[in-house]
Amino acid sequence: MSVSEASVDGVVEVTNVSGAGDFILVCEHASNFIPPEFDHLGLGSDALESHIAWDPGAYPVAVALSAKLDAPLITSRVSRLVYDCNRPPEAKSAVPAESETYEIPGNKNLSGKDRQTRIDQYYVPFHDALATVTDRRVKARRAPVIVTIHSFAPVYDGRKRDLDIGVLHDSDTRFADAFLRVAATHGKFKTIRNEPYGPQDDVMHTLTEHAIPRGLLNVMLEIRNDLITTPVDQQSMAEQLAEYATEALVSVAERLNDSSAVDGPCSKTEPIPIYSTVRRRNDLMFGSFAVGTS
């Protein structure tokens, strides 16, 4: 598909597509919209407004972050209950028949054809848009950092979650490590690695599909949703995350430039010019470092 300056085709929104910053942002659970043909999936308004249908607050934070970082933002405009774009087509939870304490009547006993239609209509356009934006940047030899923005409920299944921000990663820990270090230095939020979810919960699909095969730095951020309920709080959170992300990138790029620090599967192939953030911040050229492209 082609991705225009600000394209909306009904199920996926791409904003700030030509953003010149170093990041590409993704918000898979931005919306609780359920297309009318699904008749609310048989759910009441309490379920449809709850975190099972979307990540409350994540979208406005992502939009503000996109402006701060001058980053393209790829957003799903349909509820995760119709199709969860952070799950691969083969995952049961891509079209969940239950979530936390709720059953989802409209997702029960789906035929293979119904399921394939959901994949074709919601999953494919979303991931095509993200791949298009990402490949365009890689081809221009400006490796983006992929950051996905989520929110989590303060209490889940009756259990209180004792953290402010979760910093999630799969096999490539480079950017997450740096982000955690920066956040700890600032000391404002209780920031924890791979909480309240981790790779064992199969929540890394976007990162493992788009970032890791291309050797791109990446992280998934989970923000406790009671910290981002008002526009003021959302803006403030975006400003903090932009600062942390920028500092983390400077730190990672400095390490990557030291060839002794480059190891692992994500650092092999052709060189890509250093991130513009680092040039701006340090007014230095570190040369280039290697980023995998396949």
> With respect to Zn ion, which residue has the nearer C-beta, 148 or 277?
148
Residue written as token pair 């942002």:
25
* Smallest distance, Zn ion to C-beta of residue 190, A: 19
* Smallest distance, Zn ion to C-beta of residue 290, A: 31
> With respect to Zn ion, which residue has the nearer C-beta, 29 or 174?
29
* Smallest distance, Zn ion to C-beta of residue 187, A: 26
Return the range that interacts with Zn ion (CB under 5 A); candidates 123-131, 143-151, 155-163, 252-260: 143-151
* Smallest distance, Zn ion to C-beta of residue 135, A: 24
Among 68, 127, 150, 205, binds Zn ion (CB under 5 A): 150
> With respect to Zn ion, which residue has the nearer C-beta, 29 or 137?
29
Return the range that interacts with Zn ion (CB under 5 A); candidates 99-107, 112-120, 147-155, 259-267: 147-155
Restricted to residues 18-57, the positions that interact with Zn ion (CB under 5 A) are 29, 55
* Smallest distance, Zn ion to C-beta of residue 47, A: 16
Return the range that interacts with Zn ion (CB under 5 A); candidates 32-40, 146-154, 247-255, 259-267: 146-154
Report the length, in residues, of the chain.
294
239-278: buried (b, 16+ CB within 10 Å) or exposed (e) per residue? ebbbebbbbbbbbbbbebbeeeebeeebbeeeebebbebb
Neighbour count for residue 132 (Cβ, 10 Å) = 16
Beta-strand relationship, 102-103 and 98-99? antiparallel
* Smallest distance, Zn ion to C-beta of residue 108, A: 22
* Smallest distance, Zn ion to C-beta of residue 29, A: 4
CA 103 to chain centre: 26
Q: How many residues bind Zn ion (CB under 5 A)?
A: 3
Is residue 214 involved in binding Zn ion (CB under 5 A)? Answer: no
- Cα separation, 52 vs 100, in Å, equals 7
> With respect to Zn ion, which residue has the nearer C-beta, 13 or 247?
13
- Cα separation, 134 vs 72, in Å, equals 9
- Cα separation, 200 vs 170, in Å, equals 9
* Ordered DSSP codes for 212-267: GGGT--EEEEEEEGGGSSSHHHHHHHHHHHHHHHHHHHHHHHHHHHSGGG--STTS
Give residue number: closest CB to Zn ion.
150
- Cα separation, 222 vs 208, in Å, equals 17
> With respect to Zn ion, which residue has the nearer C-beta, 96 or 215?
96
User: Is the dihedral angle over the CA atoms 121, 12, 136, 268 positive or is it negative?
Assistant: negative
Restricted to residues 256-275, the positions that interact with Zn ion (CB under 5 A) are none
DSSP type of residue 277 = H
* Smallest distance, Zn ion to C-beta of residue 58, A: 7
Return the range that interacts with Zn ion (CB under 5 A); candidates 113-121, 144-152, 176-184, 257-265: 144-152
Q: Is 219 exposed, middle or buried (0-12, 13-18, 19+ CB in 10 A)?
A: buried
The candidate with the shortest Cα–Cα distance to 79, out of 42, 41, 128, is 41
Chain residues that interact with Zn ion, rule: CB under 5 A: 29, 55, 150
